[in-house]
Structure 1
């Protein structure tokens, strides 16, 4: 394991573990991290030796979301196209996708949790989507998934009015599956993850596909619409500075 890497990949049997590893910046995600995770998810989707994908963070944060201080330029394409493909990789991932939320999850780190199958969280985690505070619009398909998961009023409070959701509230409204004390999180979640990894994978994959067969098109379209609106806002902001 190379601690200088901003993304750490490890394997535990058939379980692929990916850690956001930029603790000095609260695991904020830069363009290279987006590209790396997108590739890992897409590769794992087609790897018969992987049954479960786990996402977590290093240090006190799960992730503070998009690294606003990092360059957005990439030879791989425009930033919003890269972000769209990152979110699409969550939408299309056919196997069990797990998040171990070891601390606060902000922005895209919070919105993509709604695309995961199991979410384990520490009691000291919170979920924060300050898009309108930044003059942006929500992404990660949250304009669809949040109302569906937690109801219109809670979704509006988070996505429109920047309300933070505590881990306890997230558990109560079904945004997360399990909550643990910080010192117990890593030890207790792995019993459940190991159990899930032993289930017949064909059954898991088929069942997940059946459950989401009517959602994938909606999620993909929502992702496109959110990116289009972000693009309009970014163009307007750029023009206003000229």
Structure 2
């Protein structure tokens, strides 16, 4: 088993690696202008350095009235989520919860929003100490998901590309979801030997009905952005060519609202379901411990990773 895990991991990593002198008045003016540009670039460079030091897998921008958190993972491929990424996300959201931000905008750098859990990271640990690591991993997910459930300010999501697994199931825990028309959504849990996460066992049936939810959670049906919008997973679909600009126009309209009004409005919508969501999160994480703690669960992940290698 350990040899198979190591070989599968190494092969997948190889595949991914194959598939970041002045004079006179005019001269003095030019000098001052150049110095001003240099000073601005230097300040920008310092801010970027500080951000890089603080967050390895995120880009966090404090804007006028909101905090913009972008997935830009260095420790995983395709903006996928491992414990390091999730802890950074929790840290950034905790900062935004405590400062004067009226809301959080969550998006991603590149053409992919989030490919869900980083199974390369997970399988390495599951094959070392299956029972202990399955508990640790499930608890990490539980804490991460609770961060979204308990966040008091509005969370706006701009889905620029594919949202898979946890990257899709987290969306109903946010407040507004705008999607690029080229984005798509999939929760192929059974394919890689996992049970639902991020309260999808509760939110998906409520949003889209039991039959459609089961199509996604059991058979892994892929939804286009328009289909996701029709089923209630997405608030609105925006044109790809102007996606970022349209998102920012809408965000700037939202941040003109009173911060107390935004928080209280969210509380009225969300608080009635908060306990149910926390309970669903707990149940799902207990199920993940049982699945990942079994040899069949590890085998399923290994088979999924091997299939991805073969497809590549």
The TM-score normalised by the length of structure 2 is 0.72
- Does the Cα contact within 8 Å between 2:170 and 2:198 map onto a contact in 1? yes
Higher relative contact order (CA 8 A, sep 6+): 2
The alpha carbon displacement at 1:95 in A equals 0.8
Please tell me whether residue 170 in structure 1 is matched to residue 228 in structure 2: yes
Deviation of 1:160 after TM superposition, in Å, equals: 0.9
Rounded to whole Å, the distance in 2 between the matches of 1:43 and 1:218 is 26
**1:235 paired residue number:** 293
- Do the aligned residues in 1 keep the contact of 2:73 with 2:85 (CA within 8 Å)? no
Inter-partner Cα distance in structure 1 for 2:114 and 2:221: 17
Map 1:5-154 → 2, pairs under 5 A? 5-22=56-73, 25-47=77-99, 49-70=100-121, 78-154=136-212
SS of match in other structure, 1:25: coil
Compare the two structures and name the one with the higher helix fraction: 2
Say which structure is richer in strand.
1
SS at match of 2:241: coil
**Residue 21 of structure 2 aligns with which residue?**
none
2:273 counterpart residue number = 215
Deviation at 1:237, TM superposition (A): 2.3
Instruction: Give 2:251's aligned residue.
Output: 193
Deviations 1:48-86 (A, max 9, x none): x1111011111110011111112576xxx9222111111
Q: Distance in 2 between matches of 1:44 and 1:11?
A: 9
Q: What residue ranges of structure 2 are gaps of 5+ in the alignment?
A: 1-47, 126-134, 300-312
TM-superposed deviation, 1:10: 0.7
Compare 18-27 and 112-121 and name the one that shifted more.
18-27
SS in 1 for 2:240: coil
Count the aligned residue pairs.
239
1:129 is displaced (CA, Å) by 0.4
